[in-house]
Structure formats: structure tokens, C-alpha cells
Structure 1
Amino acid sequence: MGLTSKKLLVLVIVLAVAVFVATIWLWPRLSRKGFKPIAGRVGLLFGGQVAILAALGLAINSYFGFYASFADLFGTQQDPGQVVDYTANGGGGKNGLEHVGFQGVGVPGGGSPAKAGRIEKVQIKGEKTGITTPAYVYLPPQYFQKAYAKQHFPAAVILTGYPGTAESLITRMKYPQTATEHIQQGRMQPMIMVMLRPSVVPPRDTECMDVPGGPQVETFFTKDLRQSISANYRVGTAAVNWGIMGDSTGGYCAVKMTMRHPDAFSSAVSLSGYYSTHNDPTTGDLFGGSAQLKNENDMMWWLKHKPAPNVWVMVTSSKEGEWNYSRTMAFIKAVKDPMQVSSIILPSGGHNFTTWNRELPTAIDKLAQHLTQ
């Protein structure tokens, strides 16, 4: 049973209940003096608390999608998935992309890719950076239709927060399901989505930076990933063909990489993202002692000291419940031409999936509108 297995969650809950019942049942017998009764009481109390905390932890992880496996939780090396000879293009993967498998989208008609699209699981290895990470690629229904056989599609990179799991973009955020429904309804143009987490060198949180003497994550996203996807799918290579969207840390990465690399991404959406970063125990030393590098990863500093890039970004927040509200309003005010900014500001909403699911349907439509084929 894996970390996210419902069977494991149910088993731990049953265990917690069993220890609670045992405590009630055995406590009178263990009320005597002596080492053994005292040890028994301590064991029951300790075991019960551990079981309850484990059940709560598993339930919270299942809801928020922090960790996908025990290896992910403890930061040990994970073996890559088994590669199979499959691709939507009818050939083997190239430019560092390996196809691992595929699945339906999970909407009515989901068994037919030409009606509902398809989700492919891939392994991407960066040619320039050497970074290897799993991802999911959503292909819209039109990708499999004869009328669109020679058409290239816009693409968007979709990022989780930190630590996050790519699976949560499918199971909790429902990006593929929303995209298929909106495409079928004529609300958005067909768009390919590449879904993954920003922490591509787990367990370290690099904040999507090229870390001095460390992993070159910014280069991976702005060059390696785009080249790999464009080489294996019908996606354009120009910035106007590419957007990026994410929540929390993923939102910060989306806005930052679009502003810093308008030659890679022309549009970005940040759901509850922030605008600067700093060193902490999860990041390690990101700046190598360089104040300039720290400044250049602060988007408020960038707006004040650098020429405004010709890009579009959307930022979101809530007047009550989100800690980034005042910074978001300051960011909006600081944007200058030719950069364009839009926002979704909710009356209330916390930093969680419930809030992001309220913002996602409108945000993904707007992102698609700003990309070209």
C-alpha cells in the first residue's frame, strides 16, 4: 500500500479506533501500581496518539497532495517508471522525453481521445541541465481528430505548489477535466498542458532558480522542457505559443519566469502566488551570497529597476483569508506598459484547493485566449 492509498488510510483509522477501544477496555486492569501496569498505560497512550496523528497526516496529505510516496516523503531516490514504446505521434520519444503510459481524462466520453482528449505520463530529461522529472501531458480532443492532423497547438506549463504532487493537478485541481469541458463548450481554444511540480530536484525547493553551483531549474523550464515537448508534440516554439500557470510556489515561478524570460513564455497565471523568495531550510542557499541575484528574483524589484517585458500575467488573491493580498495589489499597481496585468480578487478564500478551484475555470480560459497556435 502506497502513501496515498485509501486502503492505508482506512487501515490506520481502524487501528486508531482499535487502540482507543483497547485503552478504554484495558485501563481498569492497568490502574495498579508497578512497572508493568505503568508501561502498559504509557504504551496505550503513546500508541493511540501516534495512530491518530498518522491518520490525520495521511488524510491531510491525501487532500492536499503534498507527497506522492514514502520515498517522496523521506527524500530517497525514486526509480523511474518503466518505459514503453508508445507515443501519440506513432514513434519513440526524442530530445530527452520518454513515454511511460497514458490514461483517460475522466469526463463523459473519456474512453475516446478524439472526444475527450488524453493524458500521457512522460519522463523528461533536460538536455542542457541533466534534470530528470516525471510529468503529465494533456492532449485536447482535437489533437486526435483528422481535421487537425497538421495543426500545431498552444501549450501551457501547469505547476503545483511546494512540495506538491503532479497527480493533484489531475485529481484535485482537475485541469484536464476542466479543459476538455471548456473546449467542448467552446469557451477556450484547444491547448496542450504539461503538468508537473516545480520541485524537480526533490526534496529541495529551488524556487525555480538557477542556483549558483547547484541545479539549473530555471533553465530546465525555460529551455529544456519547452524543447523536449515541442520535439515530441505538435507545439510551436515561439513565446506566443507558450504560457505557464501555477498555484502558490508554482504561481511565483509562473510570473517570475515569464517576466524574466519573455522569449520563453508570453503569458502567466499565478493562483495565490507570491512575488519574492528567500533562503530557508527547504531551499538551502539559493543566491550564493549575491544580493543582486536575490533582487532579480524579487518581482517588485524587477518592475522598479528593469524594463517592463511585453507579457500578460494574471494574479489572484482574496481580501480575507489570503496573506498575499496587499502584495498582490501593490504588484498590480506597479505594472507598466507594455506589460499587461489582470486579476481575480475574491471577497474571501484561503490558501487552498477550494479557493483555487473557484479561480481556475476563468483563469485557464483567459490564459488560452492569450496564446496563439
Structure 2
Amino acid sequence: MGSALSSLVIIGTWFLLVLGALSAICWAGCVWMARRRRAVAVGLGFLAALLMLATAADTVNAHYGYLPRAADVLGLTSWPTASVREVVGPAPRPHPDGAVVHLPIAGVHSGFGTHSALVYVPPQYFTEPDARFPVVYLFHGSPGIPLDWYRAGQAAKTGAALARAGRPAILVAPPLGHGWLDDSECVDRPGERIETYLVEDVLPTVDNLLRAVPDRSGRVFAGISAGGFCALNLGLRHRDLVGTIVDISGLARPTHSGGMTGLFGNRPDLAAVTAANTPESYSATLPPNPPTRVWLSCGLMDFGPLGDIRKMALALYGRPGFTTVLRPRPGGHDFGVWRPALRDGLRWALP
């Protein structure tokens, strides 16, 4: 049953047509039974209304590609899993497609608390006990949570494909806030120091507990939407720690519903702090070293981020010390763009 739900795609045209047809049949039955058996008519009407709501919800879901499978809607795991003990301990059993683990990471330096990152480890991690692997840090969007990378983003599937192609990597999806609606922009702000959490807590924990390549050459920052801004801004601000950036549909400036005061707080150096976290402003002053690779992608119908992505490509292309690639693709601001963009971006990013 679990396997069937894992493979049942609910965002395809035929699934939506079936839902719509069932709704129409129930409405027709409701009308036909209205003067015959009132209780049956009420039941059919209620079922028709539920099917209409499901059809509308799934139409929106199909547009964004957020929950592709029935298992995702039901909160079931549709990817291979392992325990932390199998990953950090000796003699693990093989996992042919790799596995995803929940890795607790304490906010020792940030004060952010202890939160679990969703970590994919490739099959070679279990069969090659002396090997070390590059690490891709996956930054989710806002609204969003790390789980999005494995449901809509299909990160485990991408990781397994990379491993089969001889490019095995560890994929780490950490939390970037306290909840689904928390738009931290991955900065340090009053009450929430996400930049410090990522740089001083997450990276060292991964290096200490997992067989990661523990230097900038083995680290990739990758993100979508608000997470794309995180990857770009953190990657450019910490070039000593990361060698490659994959920015998908990210803006080149911080945004927040409360403005910059809502993001950074009411502080006397607000303008300077904002500028220091605005890649489109500071990119012109970046030194050539250490060398940095930047891969930029966005949907051609995603006009706001597309403009910023192109702006960053122009700012970085040809600059000493930067290798910059721009790969726009058909589509908008959704996982229909982000899934293949992540796949192609990591193929480029990983050796």
C-alpha cells in the first residue's frame, strides 16, 4: 500500500480529470436523487462538494508541483531512510539508493536551539567506508521547510541519480527558521541568528559527524526562491567556506514583509547592514580570491527573480576569480522549474 501511494502521482492531467469527473457525477446523482431519496441526495451533495474542493486544491498543487504524490499529501515517506546510527556508526548495512536521515544539529553558537536537518547520504557512503563526499547544503524557500526538498524537490531521487553517474554527494537540508512562514532570509536578526546557525553550527556538525570533504572545495550552497537568495548571499559573504553557489529563482536583495527594520531590527547601522546583505550592491567590490563558481537559473516567466538573476550574471560574468553560468529555463516560480534546475545545477557543480 505504501509503495502504491509513493508512486501515485496526483498532479497529472488525468488525475485532475478523474477528480473533476467524479465531482460532476456526484452532483448529477445529487440532483437526480433530490426528489427520490433525500438522505442519499444530501450525501452525494456533500461528497460532490468535497471532490470539488479536492479538485481545486489539486489544481493549485499541480501548478506549483508542491505535493506530487499521494504519499506526500498523507505525510508518508516516499524515499529510503536510515537511522543516524547507521550513518555515523561502524559497519552500516547497504542502501542501494542511498538514504535520508534526520540529523539533530544544536545551535551552540547561534542560540537557535536543536533542530533536525534532513540529510541524504549516497549509496557509496555505505559501501566505501574510507571515502569522503562533497556536501550540498539545500536552502528551502519561504514559506517552506526542509521537507520540501524531499517531497516536491525530490532531492533523494536527484542524489541517487548523481550517485549512479559517479558523482555521489551528501545533501543537507537544514531549517532556516522557526516555522513554515518564518522568512529569516538566512541573516542574523533579533531573536534569530540563522547565518550564525548555518555557518558556525551546521557546517561544523556535518564535518564532524559525517564523512564530508571538510573544506570549501567540497561545499556547495544551493537554494530555491528565498533559499536562492540565502545561497547567493551566504556563499558570497563566506567564500572562505564554500566554493560553489547554485542560486535558483533567488532575488539579489533581502526582502521581508516588515521591511528591513522588520528583518534586521531598528538599529542605527540598518542601512549598512542591509547593504552588506544585498548582493546586487556589494558584488562590484568582491575580490578575485578565493575563486568562486556561481550557477544561476530561473523560470523565464518568473519575471521578478529572473531580472535579479540576470543582473547578478552580468555583475559576476567575466570578473576575475568568478566562473559564472546562467541557465534560464521555461516555466515560472514553482517546482516544475526547481526540480530540473537543481538536477542540472548539481551536475555542473559536482566533480
| TM-score between the two structures when normalised by the length of structure 1 | 0.70
Distance in 2 of aligned mates of 1:60 and 1:169: 19
Specify the SS of the correspondent of 1:333: helix
Specify the SS of the correspondent of 1:344: strand
Q: Which residue matches 2:106?
A: 125
The yes-or-no answer on 1:357 pairing with 2:339 is: yes
- Tell me, which stretches of 5 or more residues in structure 2 are unaligned? 37-43, 75-82
The yes-or-no answer on 1:209 pairing with 2:187 is: yes
The yes-or-no answer on 1:316 pairing with 2:297 is: yes
Q: Please, which moves more after superposition, 134-143 or 163-172?
A: 163-172
- Tell me, which stretches of 5 or more residues in structure 1 are unaligned? 30-43, 71-83, 92-101, 103-110
Q: Which residue matches 2:56?
A: 56
Q: Please, which moves more after superposition, 304-313 or 324-333?
A: 304-313
Check 1:200–1:333 CA distance in 2 against 1; reply closer, same or farther (3 A cut): same
Q: Which amino acid aligns with 1:208?
A: C
Specify the SS of the correspondent of 1:285: helix
Distance in 2 of aligned mates of 1:85 and 1:112: 14
Asked if the contact 1:248/1:272 (under 8 Å) is kept, the reply is: yes
Asked if the contact 2:144/2:181 (under 8 Å) is kept, the reply is: no
Q: Which residue matches 1:296?
A: 276
Selected match of 1:198 from 176, 183, 192: 176
Q: Which residue matches 1:261?
A: 238
Structure number having the greater helix percentage? 2
Check 1:51–1:320 CA distance in 2 against 1; reply closer, same or farther (3 A cut): closer
Distance in 1 of aligned mates of 2:202 and 2:259: 24
Asked if the contact 2:260/2:274 (under 8 Å) is kept, the reply is: no
Q: Which amino acid aligns with 1:228?
A: T
Asked if the contact 2:102/2:117 (under 8 Å) is kept, the reply is: yes
Distance in 2 of aligned mates of 1:303 and 1:276: 11
Specify the SS of the correspondent of 1:237: coil
The yes-or-no answer on 1:134 pairing with 2:116 is: yes
Q: Which residue matches 2:205?
A: 228
Distance in 2 of aligned mates of 1:299 and 1:45: 54
- 1:56 Cα shift? 2.9
- 1:52 Cα shift? 4.1
Distance in 2 of aligned mates of 1:168 and 1:138: 13
- 1:360 Cα shift? 2.6
Selected match of 2:140 from 160, 168, 185: 160
Specify the SS of the correspondent of 2:272: helix
Check 1:52–1:231 CA distance in 2 against 1; reply closer, same or farther (3 A cut): same
Distance in 1 of aligned mates of 2:178 and 2:73: 15
- 1:333 Cα shift? 1.5
Distance in 1 of aligned mates of 2:27 and 2:87: 53
- 1:247 Cα shift? 1.2
Cα-to-partner distance string for 1:95-128 (whole Å, 9 max, x where unaligned)? xxxxxxx9xxxxxxxx941x32222123322211
Asked if the contact 1:143/1:149 (under 8 Å) is kept, the reply is: yes
Check 1:85–1:177 CA distance in 2 against 1; reply closer, same or farther (3 A cut): closer
Cα-to-partner distance string for 1:251-297 (whole Å, 9 max, x where unaligned)? 11111100011122221101111111223059981122411111122
The yes-or-no answer on 1:344 pairing with 2:327 is: yes
Check 1:85–1:286 CA distance in 2 against 1; reply closer, same or farther (3 A cut): closer
Distance in 1 of aligned mates of 2:203 and 2:177: 17
- 1:326 Cα shift? 2.7
Asked if the contact 2:299/2:333 (under 8 Å) is kept, the reply is: no
- 1:141 Cα shift? 1.7
- Give the fraction of aligned pairs with identical amino acids, expressed as a percent: 21
Q: Which amino acid aligns with 1:193?
A: L
Q: Which amino acid aligns with 2:221?
A: I
Cα-to-partner distance string for 1:305-338 (whole Å, 9 max, x where unaligned)? 4545532111112444543223222211112222
Distance in 1 of aligned mates of 2:196 and 2:240: 12
Q: Please, which moves more after superposition, 309-318 or 295-304?
A: 309-318
Check 1:367–1:120 CA distance in 2 against 1; reply closer, same or farther (3 A cut): same
Asked if the contact 2:142/2:227 (under 8 Å) is kept, the reply is: yes
- 1:85 Cα shift? 7.4
Distance in 1 of aligned mates of 2:153 and 2:73: 19
Specify the SS of the correspondent of 1:341: strand
- 1:61 Cα shift? 5.0
The yes-or-no answer on 1:251 pairing with 2:234 is: no
The yes-or-no answer on 1:174 pairing with 2:150 is: no
Asked if the contact 2:206/2:212 (under 8 Å) is kept, the reply is: yes
Q: Which amino acid aligns with 1:171?
A: R
The yes-or-no answer on 1:144 pairing with 2:143 is: no
Q: Please, which moves more after superposition, 357-366 or 276-285?
A: 276-285
Asked if the contact 2:254/2:277 (under 8 Å) is kept, the reply is: yes
Query: What value does the CA root-mean-square deviation take over the aligned residues?
Result: 3.9
Asked if the contact 2:105/2:202 (under 8 Å) is kept, the reply is: yes
